[in-house]
Structure 1
Amino acid sequence: MSTAINNPNDPADPHSPRRLMYVADPSSIAVGILPDSVQPNDLYQWVDMLADAGVDIFVQDVCSQGYTVYWRSDQFQYDQRDQHRRFLPMLDAGTQPLQLLLDRSRERGMAFIAGFRMNDNHDFPVFCDFIESHPQWQLVRPPEANQGGKPLDFTFDEVRAFDFQIMAEVADRFDVDGLELTFRGPGYFPAPHGPQRAHLMTDLMRRLREMLDAHGKSRGKRLLLGARVIAPIEQCLELGLDVPTWIAERLIDYVSPQDTMYSDFNAGYAPFGDLTRDNPCMLYPGMNPWSSYRMRQKHPMTAPMQRALAHTFYNVGADGVSLFNHFVGHLWNPPFYPHALHDFRDLRDPNRVARAQRHYVFDPAWGGVPWFGMDRNPYGVLGAQRVILDRAADNPSGVFRFNLYEHMDHVRAATLLVRGPDLTQHDQLDVKLNDTPLSLGPFGRPDPRPREHCPDTRWFALPPDAPAFGDNHLTITLVTSDPNASGDLILDEVEVFVQPR
């Protein structure tokens, strides 16, 4: 049974000893690590990097938008983009790269999962014949949604059968430890009909479970079925993904909730923990390389940020951490691969996470992104939290909510930071955390000297009794507005630094 960590000295009680999952997408490793042309030893070295970093479960995406990658089939088309042509000499010689990845993973003690992207928002120069020749089966999306790719409408039996056949061939030809379905695409049913058609996707999940159980019986083991889904869970249901039923019927063996691109510290992970806590289904929330679109322009997640998010995961009942898109943030940023992989060892141990410094960043994940409607995520949902204060009003006030799973008796010091692009040194704020007033103290206000401190920041030493374990509300009141400033005062970033005892 998975439990929250009420004492950082007590280990969590996971469903499985496998703590750390690494997900490789269809192309990034081929582009960023593997040479042209790829030799078997190149694949072995790549798998060894992951094993040496403490990875327990290696998920390699093997199909996207109808194309196979890392393996070739007589029934389905192989991805002809340049990054996948580097495997052709090996494939022409009769060697499947997927088999080499699988074999080396087994040798190094890692489980190997084949991943499938259930729709995608990436554009291809040419889409597979199944997609191109059946425009009537393509998903019609609202204008505010992501318009990339050519996603399919799972209302149609033919679409569900097509995906099932690809997965069935992989499970039949390769002795994988399971399959993962990545539901981070631009939808699966026409909006707003997802909830009414969710049973169709659930039927597909039942069929996959039956197929995997048949293979597992002959191989003497249970083959895993995992689902990577959007958080919060209510959004899954809107998309036609009935995750609670998948868990209740034991159709899936693990679930990985996450934002599509960013590590959202405020995402609704706890409801997934409630569903899995008394169920064999494992919980591996997804960790992305950046906290927000804004942070993507600066730097990827730091080690203290990764520990803070992992601490949240473990305290809502997670069995481990799933690293998604990690390579995108670290292949081209120092310390580069393979060194950047070694932060993982901290994340696999909830006690090490609890004993080290943590940095929580609550910023607007999709703030400033105009592509799907300003500040909205690829599903058109508002993905930015803000406190907006009208400078012309008397003592305008707003509330910023955030999740913090910290037992303050195990914390030596904690600092809360509030930031806004329109905050000036002459603005006076009254700030309360859960109704406890926070004092700026001698160093909490900006220094007016040039280039000393950012004028858009206030920071506060947190009293031990101020933070709540879980949901917190920060009430911010503009007591005195800068007389030279006009328009709204927007505060949209809150950070918490935690130094454990």
Structure 2
Amino acid sequence: MKRARSIYFNDARHYYLFVHEPPMRLEDAWGPVDEVASTGVDTFVYGVSRDDGLFYPSRVGKRFGEGEDLIQAAYWRVWHNMQSLIDGGLDPLTVLIDRAHEKGMEFIASQRMGAFPGAGEKAAQRDGGPGMTDEAVRDHQFAVLRELALDYPTEGIELDFAAAPGGTDWWVPEDELQQQAPMMTDFMRRVRAMSKERAGSPAVIGARVYPTRELNQAAGLDVDTWIEEGLVDYLVPLVYVYMTLDANMPIDWLVTATAETDISVYAFLHCHYTEENRHRANRTYATPAMYRAAAANAWRMGVDGLYSWFMRWPLGSEQRSVLMELSDREQLERRDRHYFLRREVEDTGDHDYPAQLPLAFDPASDVGVTKKITFSIADDTANEPSATQVTLRLALTDLVAADRIDLSLNGQSLAGAPLQRSPMREIDPYAGQWVEIDLVGHPPACGHNVLEVTLRERPADLKSSLVLEDVEIIVEYDTYASTPLGGV
């Protein structure tokens, strides 16, 4: 049966074992759970592994730091924080599981599928090893998953495929990914059968996969067969490396594929608005309005729940408030929303889905050429009186006042719509401009929208391309509608 969930993930490291000074107090050991308790989060997912170790005292795998030099302070803290709990008669993983249950949350352990700590020095493909093409490595990975599902009082396990290649290694040699798809499907069948060995209800089996069918097929993940055979209980689509929130992630195929099944799809909400992967940009966190926009689009698409992680830490009142809104879709209604389109990221290479931005207009070839940007929003601004302000924001590099640009939204010209300009960045205000266009008289559609941009004229002696860097829609709500007074 499909299950609605509000999920928060902690990776064991960055805001937990890396930061607390040993010996670890019980209050600190509870921290990852307590910081999201009473927010509506009902499922806590804990990342138990990295390529070089497990973050719990496994009986079948290698614990992080075991037999290794502790080469930095963070690694030293990890080892001694876990050891201090163990010396006190506590299992660090059980401490978290029990705390989650005390706080009314289910606990799911997440294992990176390209990480095999304890399987041998040459197990991973980056070390020249065979990965899971070797039966011994498969058995090792299965033993870790079995331990987490059956030997610990978790509700289940999550198989994290999507961490590759940015966060971990591939589970088989990269040039064999597609060839090994049948083997991986057989492995999933084995995991599903194991989940049913638990007394009472079977262990939950989740999987992090990629956002598009094509990316999964390229990685040798036959997700369609997994769905057809019921090999998982839930799927979470994402791309890992840069963590920019995407309110238009193309996961509708997955929602459709699971519609007549008991398999749930949870939309993944990344945590950032901007990152260091663009010129002169710093990492900035998504605002509450941005989370609302992404969540509203996901709910409108038909997902079964939302999955978030890595919010600004320590989590404060703003982050906890966002989690409360994400856990109750009705709280998202008639609240400000900020939609923005993701940009292409070179570092993800071929293991990413297409982005529409940046969009360049070369004056030598693109004058008079109309280019389209598509996006979806979940607001019916045309029929909602409390949607008092709707703004289209465009960031353009090398825009000058002499440029002539035609804009239309869903076939309706935006010529004459009120607009304001401002510098695109403070540090180099000459480099580009934000253009903010009032759309109250030209409301976007609830659902699919098409923005058409045509460069009509550019100064003949200005040879640089005009580049559309960002496209955003901001919807603001107010109790007091901005309808005209009678007779005015």
Class of the TM-score when normalised by the shorter of the 2 chains: 0.7 to 0.9
The reply on whether 1:182 has 2:160 as its aligned counterpart is yes
The reply on whether 1:156 has 2:146 as its aligned counterpart is no
CA deviations over 1:36-93 (Å, ceiling 9, x no partner): 2212232234422211322110011122326221x21333211013232121121133
Q: Which runs of 5+ in 2 are unaligned?
A: 66-74, 479-488
User: SS where residue 169 of structure 1 aligns?
Assistant: helix
Residue 271 to residue 17, structure 1, CA distance change in 2 (3 Å): closer
The CA distance in 2 between the partners of 1:245 and 1:455, in whole Å, is 48
Q: Which amino acid aligns with 1:306?
A: Y
Q: Does the aligned pair in 2 maintain the 1:111–1:177 contact within 8 Å?
A: yes
- 1:419-434 aligned at under 5 Å gives the runs 419-434=395-410
- 1:217-236 aligned at under 5 Å gives the runs 218=199, 220-236=200-216
Equivalent residue for 2:389, pick from 409, 413, 421: 413
The CA distance in 2 between the partners of 1:108 and 1:171, in whole Å, is 20
The reply on whether 1:297 has 2:253 as its aligned counterpart is no
Partner of 1:8: none
Aligned alpha-carbon RMSD (Å): 3.0
Q: Does the aligned pair in 2 maintain the 1:446–1:454 contact within 8 Å?
A: no
The CA distance in 2 between the partners of 1:440 and 1:37, in whole Å, is 65
The CA distance in 2 between the partners of 1:269 and 1:77, in whole Å, is 35
Partner of 2:109: 114
Structure 1 vs Structure 2: percent identity of aligned residues?
26
The CA distance in 2 between the partners of 1:447 and 1:481, in whole Å, is 20
Structure 1 residue 169: Cα displacement:
1.6
The reply on whether 1:355 has 2:327 as its aligned counterpart is no
Partner of 2:188: 205
Partner of 1:72: 57
Equivalent residue for 2:87, pick from 83, 92, 107: 92
Q: Which amino acid aligns with 2:61?
A: F
Structure 1 residue 463: Cα displacement:
5.7
Residue 474 to residue 442, structure 1, CA distance change in 2 (3 Å): closer
The reply on whether 1:343 has 2:322 as its aligned counterpart is yes
User: SS where residue 30 of structure 1 aligns?
Assistant: helix
Q: Which amino acid aligns with 2:83?
A: L
Partner of 1:270: 252
User: SS where residue 449 of structure 2 aligns?
Assistant: strand
The reply on whether 1:16 has 2:3 as its aligned counterpart is yes
The CA distance in 2 between the partners of 1:235 and 1:452, in whole Å, is 39
Q: Which amino acid aligns with 2:476?
A: Q
Residue 172 to residue 192, structure 1, CA distance change in 2 (3 Å): same
User: SS where residue 355 of structure 1 aligns?
Assistant: coil
Q: Does the aligned pair in 1 maintain the 2:344–2:354 contact within 8 Å?
A: no
The CA distance in 1 between the partners of 2:350 and 2:113, in whole Å, is 15
User: SS where residue 197 of structure 2 aligns?
Assistant: helix
The reply on whether 1:388 has 2:378 as its aligned counterpart is no
Q: Does the aligned pair in 2 maintain the 1:415–1:496 contact within 8 Å?
A: yes
Structure 1 residue 382: Cα displacement:
5.8
Q: TM-score, normalised by structure 2?
A: 0.84
Residue 484 to residue 459, structure 1, CA distance change in 2 (3 Å): farther
Partner of 2:239: 259
- 1:457-472 aligned at under 5 Å gives the runs 457-462=434-439, 467-472=444-449
Q: Does the aligned pair in 2 maintain the 1:415–1:498 contact within 8 Å?
A: yes
Structure 1 residue 404: Cα displacement:
2.5
Q: Which amino acid aligns with 1:317?
A: G
Q: Does the aligned pair in 1 maintain the 2:274–2:284 contact within 8 Å?
A: no
Partner of 2:376: 403
Residue 98 to residue 464, structure 1, CA distance change in 2 (3 Å): farther
Q: TM-score, normalised by structure 1?
A: 0.82
Q: Does the aligned pair in 2 maintain the 1:308–1:360 contact within 8 Å?
A: yes
User: SS where residue 48 of structure 2 aligns?
Assistant: strand
The CA distance in 2 between the partners of 1:447 and 1:29, in whole Å, is 35
CA deviations over 1:430-478 (Å, ceiling 9, x no partner): 0112222123534345699x99999522232336776344333221111
Residue 465 to residue 338, structure 1, CA distance change in 2 (3 Å): closer
Q: Does the aligned pair in 2 maintain the 1:447–1:455 contact within 8 Å?
A: yes
Structure 1 residue 272: Cα displacement:
1.7
Q: Does the aligned pair in 2 maintain the 1:307–1:358 contact within 8 Å?
A: yes
Residue 499 to residue 248, structure 1, CA distance change in 2 (3 Å): farther
Q: Does the aligned pair in 2 maintain the 1:192–1:238 contact within 8 Å?
A: no
Q: Does the aligned pair in 2 maintain the 1:40–1:97 contact within 8 Å?
A: no
